[in-house]
A and B are shown apart, each in its own frame.
Chain A
Amino acid sequence: MEMLALLGDGFATSLSPLNLMVVLLGVTAGLFIGAMPGLGSVNGVAIVLPLTFIVPPSSAIILLAAIYYGAMYGGAVSSVLLGIPGASTAVATTFDGRPMAQQGKAGLALIAAATASFVGGTISVVLFTLFAAPLADLALAFGPAEEFALVLLAFTTFVGLGGDDKLKTVVMICLGLVLSTVGLDLISGQPRLIFGDMPGFYSGISFLVLAIGVYGIGEILYTIETSKTAPQVTPAKITFRELGAGLKRINKMWKTMSLGSFLGFFVGMLPAAGATPASLMAYGIAKQTSKEPETFGKGNIEGVVAPETANNAASTGSLLPMLTLGIPGSPTTALLLGGMVMWGLVPGPMLFIEQPDFVWGLISSLYTANFAAVLINIALIPLFVWALRMPFTVLCAIVIVLCIVGGFAPSQKMHDVWLIAAFGVAGYLLRKADYPLAPLVLALVLGPLMEKSFRQTLIAEQGNVLAFIERPLSGFFIALAVLFFVLPLVQAWRRTARRAIAPAE
């Protein structure tokens, strides 16, 4: 009950006219920032950080959190409309969001994404409110071995759910893992695969560069080729009837949404894991447990709902280790943490005790930010969809400019722009040869995490590989991973076995 009283006080803070305005402003800005490929919440928060001195600290952190939140909603927009994931967390949203847009159902996909984000965000904020303190201990129980097991789990759900051609999926994962080793080795500090001595490769290949290249440029090249005779027009209209019908369909997906929310929150809470594996696992599980798994990847609305609930839930979850342990779970939360330090707030176990006004103000602002984000997002959907009605010849040029600017902006190196061009051509060729691109991109994101935690564990355990199984938490995750890997194989085997028996009867 004491908690409710504190939350009540928090609402008194977050509902003050200034803070309410700050939330609306932040969410709107975040939405647009997130919707731009190449400009994620990291850039949004970084740009606004110095401006926050004009408001009191609690309002400032609320502003930053609102941008963070808005960007999470916005991420789905470019995934659905352009098929370019603006952040690694939105890759899974392209699987079904993009096909839906191509079928003229972009509006529905965006509504599904917004609603799912709202549900995911809300459920995880409630979890946050109730269990923040005890859950911090769980996050501490995660050492390198557990991290490795969790990433392994994310990978296996992916092999299980990849395209029809398993071999091609595996090949792309391997290619992504190779790309992820470029740059400085964390353990020895030696540069690897820097192509002689190209300084640009020292910092590795970033997710954005690869994603913008293969999804942005590659996709445009492919579309130019396929539509050279008849420029394609995607009829994308949105009516109230459609909206109603859409919401009714989404209403039936409570199982997927609650699963996605819980999964997202717990995975997001673990330092270093974050929203990307969470959204992937949610997608994988939704497909595995669906009655019609074959429709996934071809425009199934559930395939948009699952990752979107999970990534929003995870973004709330990742605030937990930041506030309670002072460990940022993502680059954006690292910036938030920097902001808090600037205002003299010390994140860590004592924050909840020493600064209850601040903490509960922030938590309650997450509720209001969620409401604001879903309303503003739905109101803007017609506008986003309108953009799709632009003639392809115009849209194509705009997207290419966005891709190049978006790739250059974060690092400000021409090196990255050339890489984007190279990946664009590679992406086009891979698409033509029918290789799935998502495994490539996700392996690049998860690869460094996996390699690092694997080697840390081996160093710490002096080469004892069994350590992964001996530790209860990591053993549990490894067992799950094996199950996920074997299950589709068993199912396939039973299907063929049944088919083999059938003619005999």
Chain B
Amino acid sequence: MAYTFTRRAALAIAASAALVASSATAVLAEGWKPQKPVEMVIMAGQGGGADRLARLFQSIIQKERLASMPVLPVNKGGGSGAEALRYLKDKEGDAHVIMATLNSYYTTPLRTDIGVDIEEFTPIARMAEDTFILWVNADSGITNLDEYVAAVKAAGRDWKMGGTGTGQEDSLVTAMIEAEFDLDVTYVPFKGGGDVAKNLVGGHINSTVNNPSEQMGFYNAGKSIPLVAFTPERLEAFPDVPTARELGHDIVYAMQRSFVAPKDMPQEAVDYYTAMFKALSESEEWQTYTSEKALMPAYLTGDALQTYFLEERAKHKAILDNMEGEGSS
């Protein structure tokens, strides 16, 4: 056992040495630099869409040597991100912690009382807005929104809509669809977007509101059909898919993919990370990824970002209040 232990320790040391060596040459901003590895807290568990994206950011930072110290992703997905939010709150003034957010950044503190006010956190950068599309199985024979609404009306509660959980982004969109078209569907929660996608193709649910990246593989294979996009404009990756707005239904919803930092992070550190994400947003890999996965690049920083966060929080409060008012299951 002693032997295995030393071997493993040696391995770990070698690994971290290589990490440090690979990034030691990186110089980005003048002045302040991180003095130790930077923790990148992820508000979701391993393997999900948010996690994958955060790790993509980390890999680009590492590969392009955008940071002088390694960035270490840490998953704190408990309680729809409650765990991560609490953690960040306790890190007040820390210059070596950043957090990758999704919309549970607003909804979780609204739904559960965890003593977190997101207004206190320091906004760093919004990298993109993820989009939502309504999908059906290719075997269903449904090709447009009208047919969809007719089919759901006929099926009533037998219509199964898959999603990632009550209060999550897709359930909000589902609630908006139900309200707009006066529908009443059965909402079945799954563990992650990938699981939902598979159950749609396997015929265990009838439709879902997935991020494009989660359905891309099946869409390319002709197994699922996008009906309508909940974006302001048509998506580059799906030029033939109409937006809900075009069809006369004002449902627009996006999921922000941003980074925030603890309360009172030193200004030099905020500048450092902002510059780092600026460089990241201009990297070729990121540009390719956003266009392929139908993500809308939407770089935003500073006060403008904080204003955006607060507006979004107010919007989500309205949606959530509305959902609870209906007593939806």
Contact with B along A6-33 (1 / 0, CB 8 A): 0000000000000000000000010011
Query: Are A53 and B217 within 8 A (Cβ)?
Result: no
Which of B45-53, B119-127, B251-259, B260-268 forms part of the interface with chain A?
B45-53
Query: Are B4 and A387 within 8 A (Cβ)?
Result: yes
* Cα-based distance from A402 to B4 in the complex (angstroms): 11
The residue that A143 contacts in the complex, of B22, B51, B63, B204, with Cβ under 8 A, is B204
B318 at the interface (CB under 8 A from A): no
B166 at the interface (CB under 8 A from A): yes
* Cα-based distance from A261 to B216 in the complex (angstroms): 33
Which of B54-62, B174-182, B269-277, B302-310 forms part of the interface with chain A?
B54-62
A163 at the interface (CB under 8 A from B): no
Q: Provided the pairs A53-B59, A342-B59 are in contact, do residues A349 and B220 lie with their beta carbons within 8 angstroms? A: yes
Nearest B residue (CB) for A143: B204
Residues of A within 8 A of B218 (CB): 325-326, 348-349
The residue that B186 contacts in the complex, of A189, A327, A337, A460, with Cβ under 8 A, is A460
A175 at the interface (CB under 8 A from B): no
What are 16 sample pairs from A and B whose C-beta atoms fall under 8 A apart? A29-B11, A47-B15, A82-B1, A140-B203, A144-B204, A186-B165, A199-B82, A331-B46, A338-B55, A341-B52, A342-B55, A348-B216, A349-B221, A386-B3, A390-B1, A398-B2
Residues of B within 8 A of A50 (CB): 19, 58-59, 62, 70
* Cα-based distance from A460 to B157 in the complex (angstroms): 9
Contact with B along A294-333 (1 / 0, CB 8 A): 0000000000000000000000000001000111100100
The residue that A32 contacts in the complex, of B11, B52, B78, with Cβ under 8 A, is B11
Residue positions of B touching A, CB distance < 8 A:
1-5, 7-8, 11-12, 15, 18-19, 22, 46-47, 51-52, 55-56, 58-59, 62-63, 70, 74, 76-80, 82-83, 86, 111-112, 157-158, 160, 165-167, 186-191, 194-195, 197-199, 201-205, 216-218, 220-221, 223, 288
Nearest CB on A from B216, distance (A):
6
* Cα-based distance from A184 to B189 in the complex (angstroms): 13
A142 at the interface (CB under 8 A from B): yes
What 10 A-B pairs have minimum CB-CB distances, sorted nearest first? A348-B217, A334-B47, A143-B204, A349-B221, A203-B78, A202-B78, A140-B202, A387-B1, A202-B79, A326-B217
Nearest CB on A from B289, distance (A):
8
Nearest CB on B from A272, distance (A):
8
Nearest B residue (CB) for A455: B189
Q: How many residues of A contact B (CB 8 A)?
A: 68
Residues of B within 8 A of A390 (CB): 1-2
The residue that A186 contacts in the complex, of B12, B19, B22, B189, with Cβ under 8 A, is B189
Residues of A within 8 A of B62 (CB): 50, 53
Nearest CB on B from A200, distance (A):
9
Apart from A144-B199, A325-B198, A395-B1, what are 9 other A-B pairs with CB-CB below 8 Å?
Answer: A36-B5, A51-B19, A54-B22, A143-B203, A183-B78, A203-B76, A334-B46, A338-B52, A402-B5
Nearest B residue (CB) for A394: B2
Query: Are B47 and A335 within 8 A (Cβ)?
Result: yes
Residues of A within 8 A of B194 (CB): 326-328
* Cα-based distance from A54 to B82 in the complex (angstroms): 36
Nearest CB on A from B269, distance (A):
22
Chain A residues touching B, majority SS: helix
Residues of A within 8 A of B216 (CB): 346, 348
Residues of A within 8 A of B70 (CB): 50
Query: Are B217 and A32 within 8 A (Cβ)?
Result: no
Q: Which of B82, B166, B189, B223 has the most CB of A within 10 A?
A: B189
Nearest CB on B from A476, distance (A):
17
Q: Provided the pairs A199-B83, A348-B216 are in contact, do residues A140 and B198 lie with their beta carbons within 8 angstroms? A: yes
The residue that B8 contacts in the complex, of A33, A81, A341, A349, with Cβ under 8 A, is A33
Q: Which of B51, B188, B220, B223 has the most CB of A within 10 A?
A: B188
Query: Are B217 and A350 within 8 A (Cβ)?
Result: yes
Query: Are A398 and B1 within 8 A (Cβ)?
Result: yes
The residue that A184 contacts in the complex, of B2, B46, B80, B198, with Cβ under 8 A, is B80
Residues of A within 8 A of B83 (CB): 199, 202-203
